[in-house]
Every structure is written in structure tokens, then in C-alpha cells.
Amino acid sequence: MSESLDGLHPDTQVVAAGRPPRTADGNLNPSISLSSTNHPGGPIGYGRFGNETWSALESAIEALEHGKTLLFPSGMAAINAIFDLLPIGSVVTASRNGYTGVMNVLASRERNGQLEVRYVDVSNTAEVLAALPGTSLLWIESPTNPALEVADLPTIIPAAKNLGIGVAIDNTFATPLLQQPLDMGADFVMQSVTKYLSGHSDILMGSVSTKDAGLFNRLSDIRKFGGAIPGPFEAWLALRGLRTLALRFERAQANAMELAIRLQSHPAVERVRYPGLPTDPHHATAIKFMAGFGAVLAIDVKGGAAAADKACESSKLVTYATSLGGVESLWERRHRWGSESPTIPVNLVRIAVGIENIEDLWRDIDQALRVSQE
Ligand SMILES: Cc1ncc(COP(=O)(O)O)c(C=O)c1O
């Protein structure tokens, strides 16, 4: 679709990728392709097999993740497509503290006898490596949601590949701006495009990228015949949002770092979890290979679940809602969802930091935390 983007910085690729060819009077942006069927002779054929607007976004994510990309209607649909590749009875080694949706899918596939799951602390490299023999797929989310643990991807991925194990990385928290796991040897990178890539809390979408043509074709068939396809309008909005990813992420990360520093000495906070803090147990791993620390942090609020709830209910600017990756800051006590992992403290509040002014954010979070202790 667009000219070669090789050699361009990712900050430029988010702006330049996925554009139509430069022709006289041609559009700068792809249009929203609304057609359920196509004339014969081309690569699409029918609306469940492909779509011009998807292709524009897929080629942009391809430039960033360094692998051919397929869009799905949500991050969960993308994740399920990867698990659908596994033969019945396969062993999956997975993050103990991953996103609750993934934890649910793994547990239900295990109950149905489709998979056997080994849960590991992905920040404990020795524990991950010990679990690998006999595994078909290693599923790693890093940094993890919501505990912000960091896996040593440059060590773990090659070790798994040496054993012939498939490796899939959920790159949602880091985005391709911070790490590109396909270049470390991973077979799949998955994104909840819903989050940073689209960036405005107005759509749901997912993607899977891979360098392996055979795996790409199998995933493409799963999408084609499973029928879980994204809407062209959502794909167009996601690409529009992607254009500002680098700018949004830069500001959100700077805000997250500043909040993490200030929250460390807040009287209502027991612990701050953010790999950017030099005192964080995951800092040393993160600085080895990540280009930044992301824009999500978590705090353990003094006074238990009730105080944590009170804090979230007392904010006026920061919205008490789930999700992350949008321009606006959100926070929530993760255990308000019954499905949260028991290894996550009941008083943990995840803060998805947005791009607002830092002093406005601080004033609001500070006052809400003070109210939580009254
Ligand atoms: C790390 C991570 N992976 C996957 C998902 C699922 O994505 P979606 O909500 O787009 O289905 C989420 C959603 O919160 C997430 O945080």
C-alpha cells in the first residue's frame, strides 16, 4: 500500500504507514470501505475475507510490530484465534497475573479439556524456564495487567524457541514503541488495539502479527471461517488514532512516571508498582531492553478494599472505569471484578494514566486518596 517504511523511526511510521499510493488527486487517507462483496480477480473477494480499510491499518501495525498482521474485532478475539491454533490437549504456560479475560479463557478451555495450563510468575525467569519442557505455547503478557511485572523477554523467548515451543506475547501495555517481541524470536505478537494503538476509548479491536507465513495463513483462515471480523469504520478510527500514538504515549508515560514518584511518599499509599521507578523490583529487567516503562501504574491503598473503593469513587477528573490506553486517565480497584487473580491484592488500584496536565491529575488523585483515609 504505502512506500517502504524500513529505516524510519516508529514515531514516523505511525504517521506515514498505511496510506494509499500517491496518485494525482488520490486521497491522503484510506477511505472507509463499505462493501460486503467484491469484483473477482483481486485478493479480497468477499467482506469476511478482507477489506481495504483493514488492510491500511494492518499494514501500519505490520510496520510497527515487524510482522504480517491480521485485525480482529477485539483483543479477546485475537487471543482466542491464537489458542484456536492449538491441538486438543496442548500444554500452555502462561502469566499467572495476566489480564482477567485471558485467565478466564484459559480456565474455561482447561475445564473443557482443550488445554492444560501451567501458570508462572513471568518475572521469575528460572520459574518460566523450568515450566517449558512439554509446553506447546508460552503465553506472556509483559508488563502484566495489573501488577506491572516485567518478563525478561530477550532471555525467555530464545530459550523457548530452542525447545521448539511456540511463543505469543501480549504487547498491549508496552506497545511496539517500547518492545518488538517478533524481533526477539516470538511467533506471535498480540495487541488489544482498543487501548493505546487506537487511543480514544471509542472502539474495540485486536491484532495478531507474525513473521511466519504458514501461521499467518492458518490465522487468516480462522478469522475467515470463524467469522470474527472487525468493522471498517472501527478500523478507520483506529488508524486515525494511531497517527498520534507516539505523541500520546510520550506524554502519558511522562505523567505516569511523575505520578509514580509522587505517590511513593503519599500517606495513603502502601506501595507503588511501576517499572520506571529505580526501586521497583522489575526496573532492572525493564531497562535491559524496553525503550520506556509504559503509562499504567498500580498502587496498594492503605486501609484495604474499602479505602481503595472510596479513593476511586472520590476522584473528579480521573474517571472510575476499567480499560486503559485512552487520552483520559482512568482508575479502578481491580478486585471489584470477581474474576481478578487471587495473587492480586484486594486494595490494588490500577491507574491508566492519560495525557492531561500533570498538576491537575496530581491534585485530583491526591485529594481522592486523602478522602479514602477519612
Ligand atoms: C493486556 C490486555 N490484553 C488483552 C485485553 C483484551 O482486549 P479487548 O478488551 O480489546 O478484547 C486487555 C483488555 O483490557 C488487556 O488489558
pLDDT at residue 2 tops 70: no
Pairing assessment for the beta strands 206-210 and 68-72 based on DSSP bridges: antiparallel
Q: Ligand 1, from 83, 122, 141, 145: best to mutate by most atoms within 8 Å of Cβ?
A: 145
Closest atom of ligand 1 relative to the 144 alpha carbon: 1
- Assign 15 to helix, strand or coil: helix
Catalytic annotation present for 119: no
Residue with the nearest Cα to atom 15 of ligand 1?
99
pLDDT in tens, 231-252: 999 999 999 999 999 999 999 9
Q: Is residue 5 over pLDDT 80?
A: yes
Q: How far does the centroid of ligand 1 lie from the alpha carbon of residue 371, in Å?
A: 31
Angle (CA) 144 147 150, round 5°: 45
- Strands 330-333 vs 269-273: parallel, antiparallel or unpaired: unpaired
Give the residue carrying C-alpha cell 526496573.
283
What pLDDT is stored for residue 1 in this prediction? 43
Please indicate whether residue 319, judged by its CB atom, sits closer than 6 Å to ligand 1. no
Residue 338 pLDDT grade (very low, low, confident, very high; cuts 50, 70, 90): confident
Our answer to whether residue 170 is catalytic in this structure is yes
294 Cβ inside 6 Å of ligand 1: no
Q: Whose CA is nearest to atom 6 of ligand 1?
A: 75
State how far the alpha carbon of 261 is from the alpha carbons of 188, 255, 272, 276, in Å.
Answer: 34, 10, 9, 9
Q: Cβ(276) to ligand 1 under 6 A?
A: no
Span 292-309, mean pLDDT? 98
Q: Give backbone dihedrals phi and psi of 260, rounded to 5 degrees, phi first.
A: -60, -45
Q: Is 99 a catalytic residue?
A: yes
Whether 36 contacts 18, CB under 8 Å = no
**Whose CA is closest to 264, among 251, 254, 278?**
278
The answer, yes or no, to whether any atom of ligand 1 lies below 6 A from the CB of 206, is yes
Average pLDDT over residues 153-169: 98
Contact 240, 89 (CB under 8 A): no
| Backbone φ and ψ of 158, nearest 5° | -60, -35
Percent of the chain with pLDDT over 90: 97
Q: How far apart are CA 329 and CA 256, in angstroms?
A: 10
Dihedral sign, Cα of residue 233, residue 99, residue 266, residue 261: negative
Counting from 1 in the atom list of ligand 1, the atom nearest the Cα of 141 is 1
Is-contact 308 347, C-beta < 8 A? yes
Distance of CA 191 from the midpoint of ligand 1 (Å): 8
Q: Which three cell numbers stand for residue 275?
A: 517499572
* Cell (9 digits) for 194: 482498543
Does residue 192 line the site of ligand 1, with CB under 6 A?
A: yes
Given 19, 68, 99, 280, which residue is catalytic?
A: 99
Mutate to test the pocket of ligand 1, among 71, 191, 192, 350 (most ligand atoms within 8 A of CB): 192
Task: Give yes or no: 196 in active site.
Answer: no
Q: Is the pLDDT of residue 180 over 90?
A: yes
Q: How far is CA 371 from CA 22, 314, 322, 348, in A?
A: 57, 7, 21, 17
CA angle at residue 155 from 151 to 158, to 5 degrees? Answer: 120
pTM: 0.97
| Cβ 135 under 6 angstroms from ligand 1 | no
Domains and CATH numbers, the chain: 10-242 (3.40.640.10), 245-372 (3.90.1150.10)
Q: Given the residues 195, 248, 251, 273, select the one marked as catalytic.
A: 195
Query: pLDDT (tens digit, 9 = 90+) per residue, 27-63?
Result: 999 999 999 999 999 999 999 999 999 999 999 999 9
Indicate which atom in ligand 1 lies nearest the CA of residue 77: 11
Over residues 297-321, the mean pLDDT reads 98
pLDDT at 3: 52
Residue with cell 517500547: 178
Peptide bond into 146 cis (omega under 30): yes
Residue nearest to atom 14 of ligand 1 (CA): 323
How far is Cα 368 from Cα 259, in angstroms, rounded to an integer? Answer: 14
- Whether the CB-CB separation of 65 and 13 falls below 8 Å is answered with no
- Residue 319 confidence (pLDDT) above 50: yes
